[in-house]
Chain A
């Protein structure tokens, strides 16, 4: 059973009718099915070619969107999940460990949002606490020690704004993790695969190469948060003005490529990543492989210098 987003309702109706027709016995409906299927495909293509930034935000947050566990399943082999920051605890909002990616040894790190109620709670909806960032730092240290490229997958509404997280130094953990990314002596390729929420995302994305899936979003604050502050839309928790905030902040991958913030966009299957997870992961794999290949010949110092140059240049040129 496919989950449709609100703006996908016309597509849902067509696809529903097709499914109904297919179930009818003894009647020759194949011609009708074909006609409807063509119509549905066209509608899907048209809709997804013209997604607003707010609609993209919903696609990026889609419950069935591929999550870290899907990338583990389809992207890598021989994954050994590692746990704990060796200081305080284990935070399942960020997962990671060494794995084999198309014949190479890598360190895979990423947010996990969970895919049902129990796992969402376990992974805290992908909102990491300081332990998550400190675990990521631990894994990056290990990657550097064993000369492993780091592949990071970013998918978080933001770092967890909880009491314990604050008490244990959420700000320090994010800052230090960002610094770890920048100073890492191994190639670092980060992809925003779903939601790139603020500092909680950037802590894993100060990378040599930053990629985004086609309908992923990446922003300094959620559209709802921005709306509630700037449009004083606190009563509606920012929801009513969120579409405007998403437009104004330019949260889409296409915007970020234009602003020089990301390096490449990975195309999603028609209708979004959730419609064909293996294909999404394969395309991402191709892009990550290309990126790693470009970085592999660099020395640790060259990798650091590359990252520094890249981030210092952001905003200095090409903006009008």
Chain B
């Protein structure tokens, strides 16, 4: 920022200052510091063209890019009791909720959608970091359970994009209870033998990481995403030393065996499609998008422990 403050006249400085207001023309990259034209950034999915730094992408942008033709169906989510503890700190929790609802236009920190990725029908849940830091409370728990139920009912894989600071403290123990509750959602998918993929976006920490985010069949992560149980500051306070560069970043977790791949945002659609098509025994994209799974017949009449293969999108009909 120093070159700006030193060299630019006040008028221009103010223009740059407006960078976070959402409608300025330029955005400063948090990675390399370069100023990027906002329209270019939108075209590159909020990834810096110079250094590949992945910035925050809105839920709507992500879904639009992910699904074929940008078309998807939004799944209605349950609305649990608002403010069960009648919590207030320096501000009332209900007021915080109202503010965040107004700011984001959504009821809580997760959106669930149905659509197709390269022709393959999937259910996708996305955490919204802009809604109280993507924190996990009752609404988020119910949203994930709903996403899993929808995936099971429609016989589709579930992909969850995580981004969360952790628990919704204002819901106290009921927030903590979302750890086992979302784990139950994952178990529903396991029992139905449906693929469950987690994509860790920046940042994914706390109770979210320590529940559904670390239980995927496959874990992808966006480059540079911070992923961990405890936040770096808490760790540094505990061990009284400074953590090395890159600690808890996606690349570090890849090295430690906690995630399967670091995937650039622009490649995410293809990576998910490739993986899910193989796991669901669906033909490759190049061939007609007809589920190849129909070709396989149950080995014994009457089933056995393995359910007869059903075309993934047909079972619910």
Give A residues with C-beta under 8 Å from B. 159-163, 165-172, 174-176, 178-179, 181-183, 198-199, 202-203, 206, 218-221, 226, 229-232, 244-245, 248-251, 255-256, 259, 261, 308, 311-312, 314-316, 319-320
Tell me whether A166 and B176 are in contact in the complex, defined as CB-CB below 8 angstroms, given that A161-B230, A248-B87 are known contacts: no
Give B residues with C-beta under 8 Å from A. 80-81, 84-85, 87-90, 138, 141, 145, 167, 169-177, 179-181, 183-184, 186-187, 206-207, 209-215, 227-230, 234-235, 238-239, 241, 243, 247-248, 256-258
A308: which B residues are within 8 A, CB to CB?
A: 184, 187
Would B229 and A230 count as touching, CB distance under 8 A? no
B145: which A residues are within 8 A, CB to CB?
A: 312
Known: A170-B210, A172-B214, A314-B174. 15 other contacts (CB 8 A): A160-B238, A163-B243, A165-B230, A171-B227, A175-B214, A178-B211, A179-B183, A199-B179, A202-B176, A230-B169, A248-B85, A250-B172, A311-B184, A315-B141, A319-B84
Residue of A nearest to B244 (CB): A163
Would B181 and A219 count as touching, CB distance under 8 A? no
Residue of A nearest to B232 (CB): A166
Would A259 and B183 count as touching, CB distance under 8 A? no
B317 vs chain A, min Cβ distance (A): 26
Residue of B nearest to A304 (CB): B187
Residue of A nearest to B171 (CB): A220
A244: which B residues are within 8 A, CB to CB?
A: 89
Would A170 and B181 count as touching, CB distance under 8 A? no
B180: which A residues are within 8 A, CB to CB?
A: 178, 181-182, 202, 206, 311
Tell me whether A199 and B176 are in contact in the complex, defined as CB-CB below 8 angstroms, given that A169-B258, A206-B183, A312-B181 are known contacts: yes
A250 vs chain B, min Cβ distance (A): 5
Tell me whether A174 and B210 are in contact in the complex, defined as CB-CB below 8 angstroms, given that A202-B180, A220-B176, A221-B169 are known contacts: yes
Tell me whether A166 and B248 are in contact in the complex, defined as CB-CB below 8 angstroms, given that A161-B235, A221-B167, A250-B85 are known contacts: yes
Would A249 and B172 count as touching, CB distance under 8 A? yes
A-B CB contact pairs (8 Å), 8 listed = A161-B238, A171-B227, A172-B214, A178-B179, A179-B186, A230-B169, A308-B184, A315-B81
Residue of B nearest to A244 (CB): B89
Would A315 and B174 count as touching, CB distance under 8 A? yes
| Choice from A170, A248, A320 contacting B89 with Cβ under 8 Å | A248
Residue of B nearest to A133 (CB): B210
B209 vs chain A, min Cβ distance (A): 4
Would B234 and A161 count as touching, CB distance under 8 A? yes
Q: Counting chain A CB atoms within 10 Å of each CB, which of B90, B169, B215 scores highest?
A: B169
Residue of B nearest to A220 (CB): B176
Complex Cα spacing A214 to B239, Å: 33
A73 vs chain B, min Cβ distance (A): 30
Complex Cα spacing A256 to B224, Å: 39
Complex Cα spacing A219 to B247, Å: 28
Tell me whether A182 and B228 are in contact in the complex, defined as CB-CB below 8 angstroms, given that A169-B256, A259-B174, A315-B81 are known contacts: no
Would B230 and A320 count as touching, CB distance under 8 A? no
Would A175 and B183 count as touching, CB distance under 8 A? yes
A199 vs chain B, min Cβ distance (A): 4
Would B256 and A167 count as touching, CB distance under 8 A? yes
Would A311 and B85 count as touching, CB distance under 8 A? no
Would B172 and A251 count as touching, CB distance under 8 A? yes
Would B169 and A220 count as touching, CB distance under 8 A? yes
A156 vs chain B, min Cβ distance (A): 13
Complex Cα spacing A170 to B206, Å: 10
A315: which B residues are within 8 A, CB to CB?
A: 80-81, 84, 138, 141, 174, 177, 181
Complex Cα spacing A166 to B227, Å: 10
Tell me whether A163 and B239 are in contact in the complex, defined as CB-CB below 8 angstroms, given that A229-B169, A231-B89, A314-B181 are known contacts: yes
Would B234 and A231 count as touching, CB distance under 8 A? no
Complex Cα spacing A218 to B174, Å: 11
Q: Counting chain A CB atoms within 10 Å of each CB, which of B80, B181, B183, B239 scores highest?
A: B183
B139 vs chain A, min Cβ distance (A): 10
A133 vs chain B, min Cβ distance (A): 10
Query: Which 10 pairs show the lowest CB-CB distances between chains A and B?
Result: A161-B230, A171-B209, A230-B89, A171-B229, A220-B176, A206-B180, A174-B210, A249-B172, A170-B229, A172-B214
Residue of A nearest to B234 (CB): A161
B179: which A residues are within 8 A, CB to CB?
A: 174-175, 178, 199, 202, 206
Residue of B nearest to A227 (CB): B89
Complex Cα spacing A218 to B177, Å: 11
Q: Counting chain A CB atoms within 10 Å of each CB, which of B177, B183, B229 scores highest?
A: B229
Complex Cα spacing A203 to B206, Å: 13
Would B177 and A162 count as touching, CB distance under 8 A? no
Residue of A nearest to B241 (CB): A163
Complex Cα spacing A200 to B95, Å: 30
B174: which A residues are within 8 A, CB to CB?
A: 259, 261, 314-315
B206: which A residues are within 8 A, CB to CB?
A: 199
A9 vs chain B, min Cβ distance (A): 29
B80: which A residues are within 8 A, CB to CB?
A: 315-316
Complex Cα spacing A221 to B207, Å: 10
A140 vs chain B, min Cβ distance (A): 14
Would A320 and B169 count as touching, CB distance under 8 A? no
Would B230 and A170 count as touching, CB distance under 8 A? yes
A226: which B residues are within 8 A, CB to CB?
A: 169
Tell me whether A250 and B169 are in contact in the complex, defined as CB-CB below 8 angstroms, given that A202-B180, A259-B84 are known contacts: no
| Choice from B176, B187, B211, B215 contacting A219 with Cβ under 8 Å | B176
A301 vs chain B, min Cβ distance (A): 11
B140 vs chain A, min Cβ distance (A): 12
